[in-house]
Amino acid sequence: MATFSNTSRTSYNFNGFNPPYKIGNAFTFPTITGRDAPGQTGSAAQPCLIYSVSIDVQGSNTSTASTQFGVWNSNGSSGYYSNVFNLSSTSGTNASSTTASLTSPKPVFGNTGYKVGFTKRNTQTFTWDVDDSKSGNIYEDNAGTTGNFDDDAVSRSSSSLVFKINYYTLPIAPTAIVPSKGIGGVLISWTAPTDNGGTAITGYRIDRSPDGSTWTNIVANTSSVATSYTDTTAVGGSTYYYRVAAHNLVSTTHGGSYSGPYSTASAAFLYTTATANNATSVLVANVFNPNITPLTFADDGSGLPFNGIEVAYGSEQLFNYVTAEGTTTETAEATESQTLYGVRSFGVTGLLTTTPGDTLQVANEILWASYNPQVRIASLTVVTNNLSDTELTTLLGVDLDTLVQVKFTPNSVGDQFVRVGRVIGVAWEVTLDSASVTFQFQAAENQVFTLDSEQFGILDKDILG
């Protein structure tokens, strides 16, 4: 919110002025520095909104003056008015400051000429204050009843009205643009402008560039006050720069081609869909050595056969609000998952990351692996009667903590899915004519490994946990 005004005061009267005509004078709207709208030039790059007017004016011996304040373009067109209000009756001749809001804010531009004044709607005497130190004239429009201010070349005073214009500007630029890997794309985070121009932020404009100089708009207005956005159109293996500008009532009123100034471009970001995007002290990875093939149970002949299976759909490892602590503490969250399953939190501390972006990357990696419930194999049963000697020998080697891969096609219809589990229970059942064994599993597809931990190993001491 800003104010433009003049201050010196000398009273001036008029009467006998036929209603409902106008009094006003021209003024030049101030130049707005540091708020230029991207892509606009000259005064058009400085959009503002006038939302209220104060004028030192008073009616004499009446409480039914039915006055309106107004702001017009320099040619008198496009008048924006306040609601009709009554001026206080007074026995004196001194005017006082009266403020009225326009019924809707008037779009204006910096360093551009306009007219400000008021309308008289009855035959009572009016008093207003003038500023003799200001150049220009106060004119009347006594010739027409339209909304335009058409000067009829009659000057009421070789001075200026004592007035004040209250207006909104564009927000300043957002700061701290940080791109990182998000769920299904590049997560762009930023800091909201510290000055919103006097009216609330309503959304953000986001541009992307492959080289930091040629920009493409990827979202004109997020229509959200959230200070993050996921660019789902990003292509893996590509380097991107991002910049962000803020919207408020000024930019949206002036039109879709306007926004606040752009932030400084982000640092270059290489987007890759690989599990580990940057070298950090936490990875989300398979718990088994990829060079070692786990024991496989399968219903298609590619592993040990099984006769019964229990599939579980659970949230034991579901986390949709993740905090990661390095030199800073960063947060990643999946709001849709929170809506469906409630907020489920997970935190990791003691990271070796040195920048907020790297720490946020860790939080995103953990979130990526855990924001949906797991489909896992809870148990499977094998009847040993029809196993070959080789298969039986393999089966007898399965014990607690054995890593197992299970391939399963439900009802032999649709796509096969593969799950990895660690054996946490073994139960044999033997009768006179058959034997069977049931294995219980713990899901093992995704686990969080923290380097320098008692459980997974201490790098500096060359030992395993």
pLDDT in tens, 323-381: 888 888 888 877 777 888 888 888 888 888 887 777 887 888 788 777 777 777 889 99
Q: What backbone torsions phi and psi does residue 358 show, to the nearest 5 degrees?
A: -65, -40
Lowest mean pLDDT among 97-111, 193-207, 327-341: 327-341
Residue 56 belongs to a domain: yes
Q: Which domain holds residue 308?
A: 286-312+374-447
Neighbouring CB atoms inside 10 A of 187's CB total 22
Residue 20 lies in a domain: yes
**Residue 365 included in any domain:** no
The whole-angstrom separation of Cα 34 and Cα 280 is 39
Asked if the structure places residue 456 within a domain, the reply is: no
Q: Which of 388, 378, 422 is nearest to 304 (CA)?
A: 388
Domain of 424, CATH number, reads: 2.40.30
| Together in a domain, 216 and 129 | no
Question: Is the Cα torsion angle 324, 330, 336, 340 positive or negative in sign?
Answer: positive
Whether the pLDDT of residue 267 is over 60: the answer is: yes
| C-alpha distance from residue 299 to each of 197, 411, 420, 425 (Å) | 65, 10, 15, 21
Residues in the chain: 465
Name the pairing type of β-strands 154-157 and 113-119: unpaired
| pLDDT reported for residue 13 | 55
* Contact (CB, 8 A) for 364 and 413: no
Number of domains forming the structure of the chain: 3
Q: Are residues 134 and 8 in the same domain?
A: yes
Report the pLDDT averaged over residues 62-85.
Answer: 86
More confident residue, 354 or 143: 354
Tens-place pLDDT, residues 281-297: 344 433 344 444 678 89
Looking at per-residue pLDDT, the higher value among 127 and 241 belongs to: 241
% of the chain surpassing 70 pLDDT: 81
Beta-bridge mates of residue 100: 53
Please, what is the average pLDDT of the chain? Answer: 81
| pLDDT for position 444 | 65
* Cβ pair 266, 241 in contact under 8 A: yes
* Same domain, yes or no: 153 and 181: no
Q: Are residues 260 and 381 in the same domain?
A: no
Quote the pLDDT of residue 103.
96
Positions of E strands within 110-202: 113-119, 126-131, 138-141, 154-157, 160-161, 163-168, 175-182, 185-191
More confident site: 333 or 454: 333
- Specify the pLDDT at position 195: 95
Closest alpha carbon to 179 in 223, 229, 235, 232: 229
In this structure, the number of other CB atoms found within 10 A of the CB of residue 29 comes to: 22
Is there a single domain that holds both residue 115 and residue 237? no
Strands 295-298 and 403-408: parallel
Give me the residue label for tokens 């400000």: 116
- Given pLDDT bands bounded at 50, 70 and 90, which one contains residue 245? very high
Which secondary-structure segment (H or E) carries 251? helix 249-254
Same-domain pairing of 426 and 303: yes
φ and ψ of 231, to 5 deg: -85, 95
Q: Is the separation of the CB atoms in 85 and 146 below 8 Å?
A: no
* pLDDT the model gives residue 107: 97
Residue 317 located in a structural domain = no
The CATH number for 183's domain is 2.60.40.10
Q: 200-209, 247-256, 288-297: lowest mean pLDDT where?
A: 288-297
202 with 161, same domain? no
CATH number of the domain that residue 10 is part of? 2.60.120
Angle at the Cα of 52 from the Cα atoms of 50 and 54, rounded to 5 degrees = 125
Cα-Cα-Cα-Cα dihedral sign, residues 346, 349, 355, 358: negative
Does 434 fall in a domain?
yes
pTM over 0.75: no
Confidence of residue 157 (pLDDT cuts 50, 70, 90): confident
Whether 179 and 36 map to the same domain: the answer is: no
| Residue 145, amino acid | T
Task: Tell me whether residue 223 is in a domain.
Answer: yes
- Of 168, 192, 225, the residue that ends a domain is 168
Looking at 215, 244, 271, the residue that finishes a domain is 271
Q: Are residues 38 and 121 in the same domain?
A: yes
Task: Identify whether residues 23 and 81 lie together within a single domain.
Answer: yes
Residue 255 pLDDT > 70:
yes
Residues 212 and 290 in one domain: no
Residue spans of beta strands (DSSP E) within 349-450: 374-383, 403-408, 417-430, 435-443, 447-450
pLDDT band at 97 (very low <50, low <70, confident <90, very high): confident
**DSSP string spanning 264-322?**
PPPPPEEE--SS--S--SEEEE-SS-TTSPPEEEESSSSSB--SEEEEEEE-TT--SEE
Best CA proximity match to 34, nearest among 110, 105, 113: 110
**Whether residue 186 has pLDDT greater than 80:** yes
Whether 239 is in a domain gets the answer: yes
303 and 242 in one domain? no
If you ran DSSP here, which 8-state letter would residue 86 be given? P
